[in-house]
Amino acid sequence: GQGRLWGGRFDGGPAEAMFALSKSTQFDWRLAHLDIAGSRAHAKALHRAALLTDAELADMLAALDRLDADVASGAFVAADTDEDVHGALERGLMERAGHELGGRLRAGRSRNDQIATLIRAYLREELLVVAAGVADVIEALAGQARTHLGVPMPGRTHLQSAQPVLLSHHLLAHAWPLLRDLDRLRDLDARLAQSPYGSAALAGTSLGLDPEFVAAELGFAGSVPNSIDGTAARDLVAEAAFVLAMIGVDLSRISEEVILWSTVEFGFAKLDDAWSTGSSIMPQKKNPDVAELARGKAGRLIGNLTGLLATLKGLPLAYNRDLQEDKEPIFDGLDQLRILLPAVAGMVATLQFQPERMAERAPQGFSLATDVADWLVRQRVPFASAHEIAGKAVQYCEDRGIELTDLTPDDLGAIDGSLTPDVLGVLTVAGSIDARDGRGGTARVRVAEQLDEAAAALADH
């Protein structure tokens, strides 16, 4: 009854609460267009196996086209009595093609193969949108890096002053993880490109249908080698959830720094008006809400991944209804990144860096101490002793409330006999930065190369 997909062995319909629990149209409807594409391919496979005549195939395809148009226009929607998108669309097909012809389509396929195929096809489409959004954030970072090439800033470890670096070097250090996320998305697409259609619920079809044909029709590289795995596996959905979570974490790390930089204490960057918010009570406020929402959504994306892994853990082969729970977390992750990525790109692209403030802070906190030690090493002092002597210099300055750059030749002599006035030559931010000229280092020439390398890596995507 009521257009359900089963009935023969049942005396009655499901209880109301059973049906409410089972229902998925409220979230799987977004797969409707792809489900109809699958039906077209499957109809052609049935025709190739002589299970549909030429005329039946033509009528079936025409009915599927009308259904697709009605779904797109909203003229056909899921009814309260439809359990899932697949059942609803079969009802829609029967309404258009008649029960006799419409009832032929389900031969040799199951909703288990449909959903396993559709989730892969959907991810393949949507991950392209995610990749484009990630590329825009990389562009924003690289654009700022190019504009500010030469600006020094304090480099930190443990959030403590460590060594001066170029702002561009630091910004690109946020771009590279995102470039690796693009690599991950591309790698994942190759694994997603295998179609489980034709698994016929579990053991494969007995009707002579060709899964490779259906796969090619749907734009997949091929069909799965194992029908049980094809319908049971959701590792690829979990992998997608991981990449989305990783992107969220990468955006969150950028955001945390933007939040710090835009405080009055740091003063390294000002947020553009269009990418910040005010306070309803404190007139002076300009809040980094984009960055905070990025940080918050990263937690949500991690939750989606861990929830999905928990769903999969302990599931016996093959299809289990638990697998219906894969969709909401992954759809949520895609939806969140769709709105988050453009906002983060806008925030980064419009950040107003404060080069003077960064340059002023770059040598503070004794960040040139490593340069003193390295200078001593070049004078043939063993590094262990050099470290000790440079540490003494830091202590000397700290006791007197001065910076290493304030040291006079007399001070140097008082600290250690090996510190000749020549050491003052390396106590500059520019000298410190340009001395780090090995591949991957912060020297301006290396960072300029790195900018080109990042641009080339991005262009490759």
The Cα-based distances of 344 to 138, 249, 301, 355, 435 in angstroms read 10, 13, 16, 21, 34
Tokens of 174: 């946020």
Q: Phi/psi at 277 (nearest 5 deg)?
A: -130, 160
Q: Which is nearer to ligand ARG, 116 or 359 (CB)?
A: 116
217 closest CA partner among 347, 420, 39, 444 = 39
Tell me what percent of the chain is helix, strand and coil, each rounded to the nearest 5. 65, 5, 30
Q: Is residue 24 a contact point for ligand ARG (CB under 6 A)?
A: yes
* Window contacting ligand ARG (CB under 6 A); options: 108-116, 218-226, 264-272, 298-306: 108-116
- Cβ-based nearer residue to ligand ARG, 83 or 371: 83
The site that binds ligand ARG (CB under 6 A) totals a number of residues, namely 10
Active site residue 279: yes
3-state secondary structure of 194: strand
Checking DSSP bridges between strand 352-353 and strand 269-270, what pairing results, if any? antiparallel
Work out whether 115 is an interface residue with ligand ARG (CB under 6 A).
yes
User: What's the rounded Cα separation, in Å, for the pair 182 and 204?
Assistant: 35
Nearer to ligand ARG, 24 or 161 (CB): 24
Closest separation in Å from C-beta 266 to ligand ARG: 48
User: Cβ of residue 271: shortest distance to ligand ARG, in angstroms?
Assistant: 42
Residue 162 DSSP SS3: strand
Q: Side chain identity at 89, as an amino acid letter?
A: L
202-220 burial, b if ≥16 CB within 10 A, otherwise e?
Answer: bebbeeebebebbbebbeb
- DSSP result, 249-267: HHHHHHHHHHHHHTSTTT-
Tokens of 275: 């990418």
By the rule CB under 6 A, 405 interacts with ligand ARG: no
Q: Considering the complex, what minimum distance in angstroms separates the CB of residue 34 from ligand ARG?
A: 13
232 forms part of the interface with ligand ARG (CB under 6 A):
no
Interface with ligand ARG, residue 84, by CB under 6 A:
yes
168: annotated active-site residue = no
CB of 319: closest distance to ligand ARG in angstroms?
6
Closer residue to ligand ARG (CB): 42 or 111: 111
Helical pair 32-48 and 111-147, crossing angle rounded to 10 deg? 130
According to CB under 6 A, which residues from 26 to 45 bind ligand ARG? Answer: 28
Nearer to ligand ARG, 32 or 390 (CB): 32
Burial of 178: CB neighbours in 10 Å, binned 0-12, 13-18, 19+: buried
- Closest separation in Å from C-beta 84 to ligand ARG: 4
Examine residue 195 and tell whether it contacts ligand ARG (CB under 6 A): no
- Give alpha helix (H) positions in 285-368: 289-312, 327-350, 355-361
**Binding residue for ligand ARG, selected from 81, 277, 324, 385, defined by CB under 6 A:** 324
Q: Closest approach of Cβ 36 to ligand ARG, in Å?
A: 16
Question: Segment contacting ligand ARG (CB under 6 A): 59-67, 109-117, 145-153, 220-228?
Answer: 109-117
Q: Kindly state whether residue 112 participates in binding ligand ARG, applying the rule CB under 6 A.
A: yes
Structure-block tokens of residue 245:
């979570």
> Which position among 279, 367, 418, 432 bears the catalytic label?
279
| Catalytic residue of the set 39, 42, 158, 280 | 158
- Using CB under 6 A, which residues numbered 304 to 323 contact ligand ARG? 319, 321, 323
Cβ proximity of 146 and 167 under 8 Å: no
Question: Among all residues, which ones are annotated catalytic?
Answer: 158, 279
* Site for ligand ARG, rule CB under 6 A: 24, 28, 84, 111-112, 115, 319, 321, 323-324
